[in-house]
Amino acid sequence: MSQFWSQVVHTLTPYVPGEQPKLQNLVKLNTNENPYGPSPKVIAALQREAADTLRLYPDPNSSHLKAAIAEYHGLQANQVFVGNGSDEVLAHVFQALLKHELPLLYPDITYSFYPVYCGLYGIQYQTVPLNASFEIAIDDYLRPNGGIIFPNPNAPTGIPLALSEIERLLQANTQSVVVVDEAYVDFGTESAVSLIAQYPHLLVTHTYSKSRSLAGLRVGYAVGNALLIEALMRVKDSFNSYPIDRFAEAGAIAALEDEAYFQQTRQQVIATRSILVAELQDMGFEVLPSGANFIFARHPAHAGEQLASGLREQAIIVRHFKKPARIADFLRITVGDEMQNQALITAIRSII
């Protein structure tokens, strides 16, 4: 019997998230959070929510948030699905839209949650290698498939894919759903949301965790054709009739309303990224082109793992992936604020 249970447990492969250290005063550049806090209007909205309505159940349809997201993107409310972070939204996407006879396709170097969902939901998949420049090559996806998913910009490489390439894929691949995971799109990558009206088989996911600085609130959403959204709703209704809580809905609406703060902080991240890239290149690093709030870089003379542990000794944490071997020399570094950036540069200079 115990062998039976051991087998059951070991067939489930959980997602292993980046470390959330307990120590104070670390320069935390390992999980792509936003270095700037959320909009002050979000804090005010959360305080109002706490004072006025916390005793009441949330709206099971999150209708105010869906309306706000629809308006923001020029869509209808029935084209919006919301969930507890885009990880949960993606869980529903995998279950509702990506399980077919033919394999799901996604890049071989990408968000490491995708294989976990495939394992959990029994979805067969094939990975498609990135090209020699670590880019997603659309031609390699033009084969029979049961769905396609990739982040844009890709993670952990940060490399953006041009909208024209996504459109080319949508035109050539009409028999399955194409999911573009735009977790980091606001940091200088073109969004595919503008293609939704033309392509009913396109679904785009977004998160409030990065450009809206609300990782702790857990809000994400998907936008697409109303029929795709209907499929997601059917999965959701089977599990949890309250998608997100009152804080999450109120905070997310307030964040969307403060466009000026959003623009200012995302531009700040983009500007700091340019400085970081230039400084790293100056020290001999190869830095992949980034359309995200992180960069992916390697040094020809210093192994990624050693650099990561050297930084850690100086209380700076960045992300290092041991596998696959092709990226084992890279570090994924979140773009922090100017002070964090400076601390990082100083520490790297002392190591190399």
- The residue ranges that bind ligand PMP (CB under 6 A) are 85-87, 111, 151, 155, 181, 183, 207, 209, 215, 220
Which H helix or E strand runs over 202?
A: strand 202-207
Beta carbon of residue 244, minimum distance to ligand PMP (angstroms, whole number): 12
Query: Quick one: 49 or 87, whose CB is closer to ligand PMP?
Result: 87
Q: Which is nearer to ligand PMP, 62 or 207 (CB)?
A: 207
43 in helix, strand or coil?
A: helix
Looking at the Cβ atoms of 79 and 209, the one nearer to ligand PMP is 209
CA 311 to chain centre: 25
Nearer to ligand PMP, 195 or 215 (CB): 215
Minimum CB separation of residue 97 from ligand PMP in Å reads: 16
Q: What is the 3-state secondary structure (H, E, C) of 217-238?
A: HCCEEEEECHHHHHHHHHHHHC
- Minimal distance, residue 6 CB to ligand PMP, in Å: 30
Residue 244 or 347: which CB sits closer to ligand PMP?
A: 244
Locate 96 and state its tokens. 């509702």
Coil vs helix vs strand at 44: helix
Q: How far is the CB of 291 from ligand PMP (least distance, A)?
A: 12
Residue with smaller CB distance to ligand PMP, 146 or 156: 156
Nearer to ligand PMP, 120 or 215 (CB): 215
Q: Name the nearest CA neighbour of 256 among 292, 195, 206, 196.
A: 206
* 3-state secondary structure (DSSP) of residue 9: helix
| Contact call for residues 110 and 154 (beta carbons, < 8 A) | yes
Distance CA 224, CA 100 (A): 20
Instruction: Report in angstroms how near the CB of residue 148 gets to ligand PMP at its nearest.
Output: 15
DSSP letters of 279-315?
HHHHTT-EE---SSSEEEEEBTTB-HHHHHHHHHHTT
Q: How near is the Cβ of 159 to ligand PMP at its closest, in Å?
A: 12
CA angle 214–67–225, rounded 5-degree value: 100
Q: First-to-last CA distance in the chain?
A: 54
- The C-alpha atoms of residue 288 and residue 135 are separated, in whole angstroms, by 10
What minimum distance in Å lies between the beta carbon of 59 and ligand PMP?
20
Q: Which of 270, 266, 268, 218 has its CA nearest to residue 244?
A: 218
Of the pair 215, 351, the CB lying nearest ligand PMP is at: 215
**Between 84 and 302, whose beta carbon lies closer to ligand PMP?**
84
Q: How far is the CB of 156 from ligand PMP (least distance, A)?
A: 8
> What is residue 211's three-state secondary structure?
coil
Minimum distance from CB of 192 to ligand PMP (Å)?
14
Helix (H, G, I), strand (E, B) or coil at 180: strand
Please state, in angstroms and rounded to a whole number, the distance separating the CA atoms of residues 116 and 126. 13
